[in-house]
């Protein structure tokens, strides 16, 4: 489903991703762990198509199609979903309005008509209800004054609404509180399925106590330096990343 080969990317001429390979098949949950500064968030931004990131070599395909050639909204239309470490706050835009715009942008890019407002309202209320999101929260400005847990709930609501093929979640380095952790893990577990792939980026093993990944990767200095099963996450928690930093530097 996602196939990344020899990906190199720079920010302001500084190489950050340095030959990254990653293959995610439909139905799989992959975790990427690694020390701070190894380029985990850069990978998510490059996949999102954010400006400032220059891809200098390699490829990234989603179901055989070149992701890197697509505009950001086209990537979303093709079924890529990204949740960033630092979610956007938009004071003037109600969460509900944002969700509607996101869903309709995806539909338009797929050649479908906008979802009529009553149908959208019904759909979003149904999904929000399941996630314990109140109608009041949907009226508030996007992520403005949201707690960590509320931001995560909102992120999972977006994911549930857009029904993406591939979800990339970049989780905060400072650690989620227990409420946010539960929201993310329950959200991911509920959406797990044979047609959908996940890449969960996390500095700590804690999230992986709640989401059992199929594959765990260690990223250091801009590339994947080791791949294993769920047990690798526990090993990392016990031993830290020092070995990998030495190895990547060599
Ligand atoms: P991680 O998410 O693994 O902690 P990042 O992708 O955030 O790593 O950062 C990787 C490297 O890129 C770091 O050395 C960081 O300082 C650098 N970096 C990230 N964003 C920028 C930027 N906007 N401008 C310059 N350097 C950056
Ligand atoms: Mg970081
Ligand atoms: Mg990061």
pLDDT (tens digit per residue) in 2-30: 999 999 999 999 999 999 999 999 999 99
Res 168: pLDDT: 96
Does ligand 1 come within 6 angstroms of the Cβ of 17?
no
Interface TM-score (ipTM) > 0.85 = yes
Q: How far is CA 208 from CA 20, 118, 189, 216, 229, in A?
A: 22, 38, 11, 10, 12
* Interval 53-66 mean pLDDT: 97
What CATH number is attached to the domain comprising 6?
3.40.50.300
Please, which pLDDT band fits residue 249 given cuts at 50, 70 and 90? Answer: low
Res 248: pLDDT: 57
At 160-170, the pLDDT tens digits run: 999 999 999 99
Q: Which atom of ligand 1 is nearest to the CA of 173?
A: 4
Res 175: pLDDT: 66
- Which bound ligand lies closest to the C-alpha atom of 84? 3
pLDDT(85) > 80: no
Q: Which atom of ligand 1 is nearest to the CA of 42?
A: 6
pLDDT(228) > 80: yes
Does ligand 1 come within 6 angstroms of the Cβ of 38?
yes
Please, which pLDDT band fits residue 219 given cuts at 50, 70 and 90? Answer: very high
Distance CA 110, CA 5 (A): 27
Smallest CA separation from ligand 1 atom 18, residue:
11
Res 174: pLDDT: 67
Does ligand 1 come within 6 angstroms of the Cβ of 42?
yes
Res 247: pLDDT: 61
Burial 132-160 (b: 16+ CB within 10 A, else e): ebeeebbebbbbeebebbbbbbbbbbbbb
Environment of ion ligand 2 (residues, CB < 5 A): 36, 173
- Tokens read off for 206: 């804690």
Q: Total structural domains in the chain?
A: 1
At 95-143, the pLDDT tens digits run: 999 999 999 999 998 899 999 999 999 999 999 998 888 989 999 999 8
Chain-centroid distance of CA 149 in Å reads 16
Does ligand 1 come within 6 angstroms of the Cβ of 36?
yes
Does ligand 1 come within 6 angstroms of the Cβ of 16?
yes
More confident residue, 70 or 130: 70
Please choose from 10, 37, 244 the residue to mutate so as to test ligand 1's pocket, defined by most ligand atoms within 8 A of CB. 37
Q: Which atom of ligand 1 is nearest to the CA of 219?
A: 3
Residues spanned by the domain of 180: 2-249
């Amino acid at each position: 489903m996602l196939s990344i080969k020899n990906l190199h990317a720079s920010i302001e001429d500084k190489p950050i991703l340095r030959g990254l390979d990653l293959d995610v098949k439909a139905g799989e949950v992959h975790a990427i762990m690694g020390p701070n500064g190894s380029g985990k968030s850069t990978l998510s931004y490059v996949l999102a198509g954010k400006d400032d990131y220059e891809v200098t070599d390699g490829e990234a395909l989603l179901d055989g199609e070149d992701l890197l050639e697509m505009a950001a909204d086209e990537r979303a239309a093709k079924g890529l979903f990204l949740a960033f470490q630092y979610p956007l706050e938009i004071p003037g835009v109600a969460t509900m309005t944002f969700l509607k715009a996101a869903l309709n942008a995806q539909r338009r890019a797929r050649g479908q008509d906008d979802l009529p407002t009553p149908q959208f309202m019904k759909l979003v209320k149904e999904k929000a209800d399941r996630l314990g999101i109140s109608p009041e929260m949907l009226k508030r400005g996007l992520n403005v004054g949201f707690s960590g847990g509320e931001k995560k709930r909102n992120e999972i609501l977006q994911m549930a609404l857009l029904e993406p093929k591939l979800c990339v979640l970049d989780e905060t380095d400072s650690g989620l509180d227990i409420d946010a952790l539960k929201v993310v893990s329950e959200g991911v577990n509920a959406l797990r399925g044979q047609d959908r792939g996940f890449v969960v980026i996390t500095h700590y093993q804690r999230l992986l106590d709640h989401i059992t990944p199929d594959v765990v990767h260690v990223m250091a200095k801009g590339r994947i330096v080791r791949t294993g099963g769920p047990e690798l996450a526990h090993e990392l928690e016990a031993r830290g990343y020092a070995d990998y930093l030495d190895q990547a530097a060599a």
